[in-house]
Amino acid sequence: MKQRLQDFKRKTPSLFGTDEAEKRQEILEYFLETSELYEKLFEPISQEAFYKSPEPTRHPIIFYYGHTAAFFINKLIVSKEIDQRVNPEYESMFAIGVDEMSWDDLDEKHYQWPTVAEVKAYRDEVKKVVTELIKSKPLHLPIHWDDPFWWVILMGCEHERIHLETSSVLHRQLDISDVTADGFWKISADNSPSYPKNSLLDVDSGEVVMGKDYHEDFYSWDNEYGTHATPIDTFKASKYLVSNGEFMDFVTAQGYKNRDYWSDEGWKWLQEDGRLYPHFWVKEGEAFRYRTMLEIIDMPMNWPVDVNYHEAKAFCLYKSSLDNKEYRLPSEPEWYHLAQLSGMSEHLDKGNIDLKEAASSVAVDKHAFGELYDVAGNVWQWSESAMDGLEGFKPHFAYDDFSTPTFDGKHNMIKGGSWISTGNETLKSSRYAFRQHFMQHAGFRYVQSDKALNVNKVNSYESDIQVSQYCDFHYGEEHFGVRNLALSLVDIALKYQDESMRTKAFDLGCAVGRASFELSKHFDDVTGLDFSASFVQVGTHLKEGGSITYKRHLEGDISRVESVDLESLGYKQTASKISFLQGDACNLKPHLTGYDLIIASNLIDRLYDPMLFLNDVKHRVNSGGLLVISSPYTWLEEFTKKENWLGGYMKDGQEVTTLDGLKSALEDSFELVDTPTDTPFVIRETARKFQHTLAQVSVWRKK
């Protein structure tokens, strides 16, 4: 076992080389040293603390001790490089549970955790299995991301190095009595009760191109591949990261109690958390001390403050009100621009990073990157950019949910690495994001700009079952010779639509937006509206980002990733005509009027008051315009009270159909253009299960 941090190899191996035996040995050493360094992290933890959850949204520490080993086996099974498990129970128990996702089972009643010794024995067994595989598997250089073994081995190493950092945050959240300081994880002595005064420095304009292709030199995660070019306007950036001393002013000013400084989500989090100062500050009497990973020390005012996104954003608003200027966090492209201007190479070799200096932060004025300090290192830096895929994104087959669950607008990018960032985390191109309330070794710098922030949305990935099903229904292939319903409805409408009345169209109940996009080819102005924000978000992402990616369910836990883009669909030139909105069809805003065409697709039998809708929508169609109603008339009381049904019931011994109800509601203002037709549509649920349905389509012309 190595006894000094300096003895560990921390850079991810190159994918290139000429000597296969040498590369095999390099990867074996990287794997073994990754495992050893990770285990070193757990040595200062008491046995009892392994079964504590210092963060309520995380598993106990024991989970993370076993998780990184189980990952290797699970991914090698997925990639079909092995067919025998080491311990099926552990590889299930330690598989998932790290990011508050819906599939994370954090109910401790569902687990009977093994002893620390048992998990260590499991780790040793996995290490033995993987070591033998590394020694025996064929190796062909360069290593490509399609390689089912070597790429997965590097993936496992980088995954463990991510958890080296995130687990160190959990250890830092344990009670101080649960940890013991040791000489291996030695903190910096470079701390002071004074701190440098921050200032703003001018940053020139320019352009950044983020992303990489699949022939780069080092292992990268799926979200790092692709491209995105962004012009950067001039702005000002704080010379230093915000220090504990600078942040102290915000705390002293009762910033944690002032609603004006917090976003709605931030304030909600704050009320639930009850925090009055940063998480790693320790209140002792009237003074504050500071929690490192394993120690409590006098407050290092000159070290960067550790906060979450909400706290960083609140400070910017506080400082804005104080200085009467607009401060904010930088975007991801703006951080890249700072990195470029500082002459930073792909490996972030400068600064307090890669565990080469200390197992803690250091002074914010110690590491200069030109005029700015700590462009990389010390602590990660929160940005205003939400995680998203670059253009051309595709998930890796062995880990297709590494990035995609974070493409939800709820995970903000952190940039630049921290003192414990190693491996892929020390690449300039690395892209990591966390939920806005999460704690990491993360702080921030602030910027000032006269230009509105342009946070780019390039790609969307939908994994929600219903949303994905509708993505496939709208944009997937046709089945059994049945045409896409959205396209059929637009064709029916255009058949009866006067060509002189093709100015404004309303896709009411637009779901994920296919009819809206099709209408944009024929109308000058298109509105797509749906009650479901998740559905509307898909159309918005496709319009703004140019593509969406979703999972098509096949069977059991098996799914396939599908992607669609505006260009291949033929909507790239017309998508700008569309406005997607979330709203209630029974309570539409007044300005949504003056339409030449309204299509209400499979909507009427899902409304809580369909008659209210009809009485309102008739006033939103221009004279001579069309209202197209499509529905299978599957009336259900879970959606509509029976007394509000338009049809599908008996009255005075007579059948009342929905068409009867529509005629009664609309005939004073509309004429039925033609005999209603039954139009089939097919929704695929799995590879072998489909819904085949007939929707009655009626076309009404406004008198």
Read off the pLDDT of residues 88-144 as tens digits, 9 standing for 90 and up: 888 878 887 665 543 344 556 667 899 999 999 999 999 999 999 999 999 999 999
Distance CA 100, CA 58 (A): 8
Q: Regarding predicted confidence, which is higher, 533 or 298? A: 298
CATH class given for the domain over 202-448 = alpha beta
pTM: 0.70
Specify which residues 638 forms β-bridges with: none
- When the pLDDT of each residue in the chain is averaged and rounded to a whole number, the result is 91
pLDDT, position 311: 98
- Predicted confidence at residue 99, as pLDDT, reads 59
How high is the pLDDT of residue 288?
97
Name the architecture of domain 5-178: Up-down Bundle (1.20)
Assess contact for 548 and 474: CB atoms under 8 A: no
Alpha-carbon torsion, ordered 444, 445, 449, 453, to 10 deg: -20
Backbone phi and psi for residue 267, each to the nearest 5 degrees, phi listed first: -65, -40
Distance separating alpha carbons of residues 440 and 172, to the nearest angstrom = 10
**CATH 3.90.1580.10 boundaries in the chain:** 202-448
219-239: per-residue pLDDT in tens?
999 999 999 999 999 999 999
| CB-based burial, 67-86: b 16+ in 10 Å, e otherwise | bbbbbbbbbbeebebbeebb
Locate CATH 1.20.120 in the chain.
Answer: 5-178
**Position 32 pLDDT exceeds 50:** yes
**The predicted structure's pLDDT at residue 548:** 87
For 424-469, the pLDDT digits (tens) are 999 999 999 999 999 999 999 999 998 777 665 444 454 467 788 9
Does domain 460-702 fall under CATH 3.40.50.150? My reply is yes
Q: In which band, very low, low, confident or very high, does the pLDDT at 1 lie, cut at 50, 70 and 90? A: low
CA atoms within 13 A on the CB side of 580: 25
Rounded-to-integer distance, Cα 127 and Cα 66, Å:
12
pLDDT of residue 644: 92
